[in-house]
Amino acid sequence: MEMDLNAQEKKEGFFQRLKDFPSKLKDGVTKRIKNVQKFGKDDPRRIIHSMKVGVALTLVSLLYYVRPLYISFGVSGMWAILTVVVVFEFTVGGTLSKGLNRGFATLTAGALGVGAVHLARFFGHQGEPIILGILVFSLGAAATFSRFFPRIKQRYDYGALIFILTFSMVAVSGYRTDEILVMAYQRLSTILIGGTICILVSIFVCPVWAGEDLHKMIANNINKLANYLEAFEGEYFPLSEKISKETNSCVREYKSILASKGTEDTLANLARWEPGHGRFRLRHPWKKYLKIAGLVRQCAFHFEILNGYVLSNYKAPEEFQSKIQEPIATMSREAGEALKAIAKSIKTMSKDTASVNAHIDNSKKAIENLRIALKSSYPETEKDLLEIIPGVTMASILIEVVNCVEKISGAVEEFSSLAHFKETLDPKLPVEIGQHQLLHRGSVKPVLDGDNEEEDNSSPHVLITVHDEQPPTTTGKNSLGAEKN
Amino acid sequence: MEMDLNAQEKKEGFFQRLKDFPSKLKDGVTKRIKNVQKFGKDDPRRIIHSMKVGVALTLVSLLYYVRPLYISFGVSGMWAILTVVVVFEFTVGGTLSKGLNRGFATLTAGALGVGAVHLARFFGHQGEPIILGILVFSLGAAATFSRFFPRIKQRYDYGALIFILTFSMVAVSGYRTDEILVMAYQRLSTILIGGTICILVSIFVCPVWAGEDLHKMIANNINKLANYLEAFEGEYFPLSEKISKETNSCVREYKSILASKGTEDTLANLARWEPGHGRFRLRHPWKKYLKIAGLVRQCAFHFEILNGYVLSNYKAPEEFQSKIQEPIATMSREAGEALKAIAKSIKTMSKDTASVNAHIDNSKKAIENLRIALKSSYPETEKDLLEIIPGVTMASILIEVVNCVEKISGAVEEFSSLAHFKETLDPKLPVEIGQHQLLHRGSVKPVLDGDNEEEDNSSPHVLITVHDEQPPTTTGKNSLGAEKN
């Protein structure tokens, strides 16, 4: 009986562990699965891309599965599989760049390889491997060296790699086979089949355009700058701490811009391989995006320095702070609004110079007000000058930020002509927003041009901001301002 | 006769063009050749690398040229060629990472592929391609998806690619051949041969270590910061314009740091694949370099903003400028010296905390002097405050730079313990330099710790800087300063 009990206990312990094991495993696995799901949901195009690769692989497998195809291509079909795996990239530009590079490199290197084999045969069976060896060494080394040149590295790196590969393979295996032309033909044709399948699937099944990604990325980056500027008052001035906590999550988004140069360069490079698509023509000025991106990054550098003053515990005395708060807040808010308008103009590919310039002008007027505020708060004692230095520095950098915003606006305006932006607002927007825009356009200019003595920058501005996501709430401030004039 | 003359003229014209052609061609070609030569000279390792690839290709060609080898491997030898071309990278880390990824991925995917073929055969000749298709689709899609995960992308991207490739090829071609095991064996063994040749040539013929490159890059970047700071006085204060022109070429070198994150990340990533080499052990803290690099970049951001004030035509009034010039100059010079010492300490992998701290302390003292100078120059009229704002901002950012330098120094000190830096100076240096260093060490501390009333920051400092390239010239300033105490 005891043994029976022991055995039962053991059995129960075992069952207990068996019972615990699934829950432990489940915890680990569900965590992983949730991570993967979240990752897929973040950008569903990743899942679609994986499916597309699967489809291309299945299509290319038919070269083996279907008897007539297998009879004509034989084992060379594996070159098609290899091509699909290495050529299929996430973006259309990437696939096209790799596919075309591979195709042309295989063609030229194959031809050269066949030539090299025929040349080497003149030197007899003894001399042949020596000549081939010398040719493979020298062409291989030269092509490898060429890959270091930035121009080649940027656009034809993969082509140079495939050139070395194909030339070496054709030249070396030519020594052992007499059917070198058949081999080269089969290799080339299967690579063409694989490459074509990749390019077709990439373009016609849910395409991911590098150009469009670049376009959206630049607009989003400008929006990130705008978010920082709009939250700046809440971040810097401790009185309005409430805002600070609400917006904190998206405020530091600008940091991603600091290191985004690599991605932008790659996207611009790939975009140039893409045919015209959607709103982008064949010769869309992709390089110009990099100019805008450079200015955007310059602005982000300024934020990075500003951030030091925002997070610093040591700030200027409250009296001084309260004097500069109003102009500083207006400056950053208006500069942010200008950036929002620029980002929207890029997103909708329609010019909106009037609104952008109005915001920038408001921001500049706030700079003047800031100067007045600084004048009226000049230090009374020696110590005061030292105390207000952080505040003065912050203000000074913020003025530079406004200059940056103006430069971005200039670059985008130049770009908008090259990229054939529409002159009016996007017609897809609801009609009433278009009307607000007209109202705004008709009424802002007189205020800005005329020397309205009653107007200072702390008074409400005659500006209606049209947001992408939601219809503008015609607050009392805006509509009153518009009606006043 | 006329015809003869005409013919002669034509002949002469032809010869003239023939004469001109070589000179034109020569101009173009010599220009190109000079470019290529310059490019090779800039980093001779590029030429060596190209030769190494040639050597590896020649070695691997022997699988075809040597009859006994060809008999045992047959056409599979081309996988070895392919492996050499795609696996051979510039750095040892790159080659090892690709080689190991390729090896392991081929092994696992090959085994899975053979398994898949055997499984599919249970379903009869009709069902086989369907099962194989489903398996290839799902594994291909899953592996493609996995390549999006940052962790896998960073270290195992190539492995995932080769996994898809090998699995698809083995599974699909298994449908048509019964010698699948022989095929898999030959493929695996030739890939191992190719990979091994790559790794051996890469490690034993003039190796390029990613780790060493990273190490040097960080030290050089710190030097670039130091160059900017040391030239800052000449750049900012128009009086000493002479210095400005002399140093202009290397002053803006810091700009390369702004976008160097990608390169640093890649190098750190590859360095982790490398075995211990030279002064670096196997588990060298490569990741810590990225922390230092981040702080260095933060400092470069500050320079980028400072630069705006340096290049601006609008500067503070001369009277104010001359008051702050001395402390500003000392601040930047001493911070620069500190960075030089840090860079040297990294280069020689020996601790030099005393010298670095001494320079940083001097720099901080200069900040105090700057505060005093600012106090004594507080604005007399309202307008003055506005006028001195650019100067104040510049000074304020420079103070932040000194903070940055201190942070870099702290990070390097932490790193130096982890990386087992030597406690003393590099013994390879000439003896007399070591003595100067001792002299310096013995004499600096009392000056810094004691409250020497005679000392202010405009007086010569008791610091001997030991340069890497040339023996220190014991100028009157240094030796006098050292003897004084």
Average pLDDT value for chain A: 81
Confidence of residue B187 (pLDDT cuts 50, 70, 90): confident
- Nearest residue of chain A to residue B300 (CA atoms): A301
For B172, the closest of A64, A133, A148 (CB atoms) is: A64
Q: Do B78 and A169 touch (CB under 8 A)?
A: yes
Say whether pLDDT at B424 is over 80: no
Which single residue is written with the structure tokens 């109003």? A326
Residues of chain B above pLDDT 90, percent = 44
The per-residue pLDDT for B461 is 38
SS3 letters across A161-206:
HHHHHHHHHHHHHHCCCCCHHHHHHHHHHHHHHHHHHHHHHHHHCC
For the segment B105-145, what is each residue's pLDDT rounded down to a tens digit? 999 999 999 999 999 989 988 888 899 999 999 999 999 99
Whole-number percent of chain A with pLDDT over 90: 44
Query: Residue range B320-324: average pLDDT?
Result: 83
Greatest extent of chain A over all pairs of C-alpha atoms, in Å: 106
Phi then psi for residue A280, to 5 deg, are -105, 125
For A367, the closest chain B residue by CA position comes to B386
The pLDDT score that the predictor gives to residue B3 is 54
| Of A5-9, A324-328, A420-424, B407-411, minimum mean pLDDT range | A5-9
Highest mean pLDDT among A308-317, A346-355, A370-379: A346-355
**Is the pLDDT score of A439 beyond 60?**
no
Question: What span, in angstroms and rounded, lies between the C-alpha atoms of B477 and B456?
Answer: 15
d(CA B443, CA B460): 14
Judged against a pLDDT cut of 60, whether residue A436 lies above it is answered with no
User: Would the CB atoms of B175 and A64 count as touching at under 8 Å?
Assistant: yes
**pLDDT digits 0-9 by tens, A131-169:** 999 999 999 999 999 999 988 998 999 999 999 999 998
**Residue B204, pLDDT score:** 93
Kindly identify which residue of chain A lies nearest to residue B89, measuring between CA atoms.
A144
Residues of chain A in contact with residue B255, where contact means CB-CB under 8 angstroms, are: none
A28-53 burial: b if 16+ Cβ within 10 Å, else e: eeeeeeeeeeeebeeeebbbebbbbb
Of residues B98 and A251, more confidently modeled = B98
pLDDT value of residue B425: 52
Joined together, the tokens standing for residue A74 give 């034989």
Q: Over the stretch A42-71, which tens digit does the pLDDT of each residue have?
A: 888 999 999 999 999 999 999 888 888 888
A45–chain B Cβ distance below 8 A for any pair: no
pLDDT score, position B4: 61
B contacts of A173 (beta carbons < 8 Å): 64, 75, 77-78
Are A302 and B298 an interchain contact pair (Cβ–Cβ within 8 Å)?
A: no
CA of A149: which chain B residue's CA is closest?
B39
Rounded Cα distance, A20 and A325, in Å:
60
Asked if pLDDT for residue A411 goes beyond 90, the answer is yes
Quick one: closest CA in B to A35, which residue?
B149
Asked if A290 reaches chain B (Cβ–Cβ under 8 Å), the answer is no
Note the ipTM here. Answer: 0.78
Segment B30-54 mean pLDDT: 89
Find the mean pLDDT for residues B19-35.
85
pLDDT of residue B126: 86
Question: Is residue B12 packed enough to be buried (19+ CB in 10 Å), middle (13-18) or exposed (0-12)?
Answer: exposed
pLDDT over 70 at A428, yes or no: no
Please determine, for residue B430, whether its predicted confidence score (pLDDT) is greater than 50: no
Q: Select the residue from B64, B298, B315 to test the A interface by mutation, using most A Cβ atoms within 10 A.
A: B64
Does residue B43 have a pLDDT over 70? yes
Question: Which of B37, B202, B301, B403 to mutate: most A Cβ within 10 Å?
Answer: B301
Q: What is the pLDDT of residues A75-129, one digit of tens each?
A: 888 889 999 999 999 999 999 999 999 999 999 999 999 999 999 989 988 888 8
Q: Is A164 on the interface with B (CB under 8 A)?
A: yes
Q: How far is CA B417 from CA B289, B337, B349, B412, in A?
A: 13, 22, 10, 9
Joined tokens for residue B320: 């104010």
What's the CA gap between B83 and B197, in Å, rounded?
10
CB–CB of B400/B229 below 8 Å?
no
pLDDT digits (tens, 9 = 90+) for B248-279: 666 788 889 998 999 999 999 999 999 988 88
Place A5 in a pLDDT band, splitting at 50, 70 and 90: low
